[in-house]
């Protein structure tokens, strides 16, 4: 690695989906299916998937699910399936990160025992979107999403959140969303990443709109870096930034992470993830070094239960040996 190059990180990840069924109907969604339209993932099938990944360089298992209504008689079974998948992933040497929509405080507290970090997109805090793209999405009420961030802080859960850009919000409303995230973090100091996700049209959605422009994404990266505390890492998804020159411009503006990179982007299935070696070459030509990381940043290790701390320590040590990373390189959040 050139000593003058700068570091941008990514998580070697694989996504497990317990169910695509979701009671929300966000009009831009390319993930969900109707209730009863698809079967839930069986635990034995999840085990087969996970075992096939054990020598594939995967570190993070992202558990990503459609949402079951809090009052549904299936809620308890759904939650238990998520818990069991996380527990299984840990037993096979992976580090789980769960993002399954709003949870109760008790559910979050239970999942802390089997997750090294968790996440939930705020998307936008403007209630105006409840009359448009979120009209049929009860769990997209801004106060509910911000409550999750606060609960995560109270529970000392390392957390990832983010904005969905280009769904009808204004620049002033983006600023308001970033300020709300910053305010919650300033109280709890628990938000490790904020994703800036540009809306990208897909084949399954009911909404018809233009993709969020790469030039505007650069502006939002710049804005986010001005508003958010410096310890929060800005993440941009490289598969949704088609022009590599804009990807580099986003990094120069303050983005420092490219998120989970794996075989399939379940949220944006029409936009395959780039192969990490190809991505590394593009970045290297622009003076950037691509480095793998864990789904939990080192400053949050002590928040984890002792059994998770041991798992993280082992994984971080193995990654350091694999990548040849220097132990004391503070720029690399292994």
Domain that holds residue 12: 6-302
330 part of a folded domain = no
DSSP letters, 264-333, are --SSSTTSPPPPHHHHHHHHHHTTEEEEE--SS-GGGGGGS-HHHHHHHHHHHHHHHHHHT--TT-TTS-
Task: Give the pLDDT of residue 131.
Answer: 97
The predicted pLDDT at position 36 comes to: 85
C-alpha to C-alpha distance for 189 and 280, rounded to whole angstroms: 31
68 located within any domain:
yes
**Could you tell me if residue 332 is inside a domain?**
no
The whole-model pTM stands at 0.95
pLDDT for 148-158, tens place per residue? 999 999 999 99
Residue 327 lies in a domain: no
The predicted structure's pLDDT at residue 326: 37
Cβ neighbours around 171 below 10 Å, total: 11
Q: What is the reported pLDDT for 325?
A: 41
Residue 116 lies in a domain: yes
Q: Where are the alpha helices (DSSP H) in the chain?
A: 43-51, 75-91, 105-111, 142-154, 171-188, 214-227, 244-253, 276-285, 306-323
261 close to 279: Cβ distance less than 8 angstroms: yes
* The total number of structural domains that make up the chain: 1
Please give the pLDDT value at position 321: 87
- Does any domain span residue 325? no
Decide: 12 and 54 in contact? Cβ < 8 Å: no
Which is nearest to 236 in space by CA: 195, 279, 178? 195
CA 313, CA 298: separation in Å to the nearest integer?
Answer: 10
Q: Is residue 164 part of a domain?
A: yes
**pLDDT the model gives residue 330:** 39
311 domain residue, yes or no: no
CATH assignment at residue 47? 3.20.20.70
Please tell me the predicted confidence (pLDDT) of residue 327: 39
Spans in the chain with pLDDT lower than 70 = 1-5, 324-334
């Amino acid at each position: 690695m050139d000593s003058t190059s700068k570091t941008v990180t990514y998580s070697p990840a694989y996504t497990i989906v317990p169910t695509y069924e979701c009671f929300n109907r966000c009009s831009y969604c390319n993930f969900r299916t109707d209730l009863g339209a698809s079967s839930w993932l069986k635990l034995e099938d999840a085990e087969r998937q996970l075992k096939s990944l054990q020598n594939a360089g995967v570190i993070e298992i992202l558990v990503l699910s459609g949402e079951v209504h809090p009052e549904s008689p299936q809620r308890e079974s759904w939650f238990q399936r998520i818990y069991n998948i996380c527990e299984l992933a840990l037993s096979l040497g992976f580090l789980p990160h769960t993002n399954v929509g709003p949870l109760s405080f008790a559910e979050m507290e239970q999942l802390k025992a089997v997750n090294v970090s968790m996440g939930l997109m705020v998307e936008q805090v403007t209630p105006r979107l409840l009359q448009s793209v979120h009209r049929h999405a009860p769990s997209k009420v801004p106060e509910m999403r911000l409550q999750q961030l606060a609960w995560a802080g109270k529970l000392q859960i390392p957390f990832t959140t983010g904005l969905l850009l280009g769904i009808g919000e204004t620049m002033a409303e983006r600023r308001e969303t970033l300020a709300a995230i910053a305010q919650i973090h300033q109280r709890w100091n628990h938000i490790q990443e904020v994703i800036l996700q540009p809306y990208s049209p897909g084949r399954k959605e009911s909404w018809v709109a233009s993709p969020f422009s790469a030039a505007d994404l650069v502006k939002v990266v710049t804005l986010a870096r001005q508003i958010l505390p410096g310890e929060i890492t800005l993440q941009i998804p490289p598969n949704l930034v088609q022009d590599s020159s804009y990807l580099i411009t986003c990094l120069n503006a303050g983005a420092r992470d490219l998120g989970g990179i794996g075989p399939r982007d379940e949220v944006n299935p029409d936009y395959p993830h780039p192969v990490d070696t190809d991505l590394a070459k593009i970045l290297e030509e622009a003076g950037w070094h691509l480095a793998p990381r864990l789904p939990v940043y080192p400053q949050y290790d002590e928040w984890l239960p002792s059994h998770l701390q041991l798992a993280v320590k082992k994984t971080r040590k193995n990654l350091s040996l694999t990548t040849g990373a220097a132990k004391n390189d503070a720029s690399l959040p292994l």
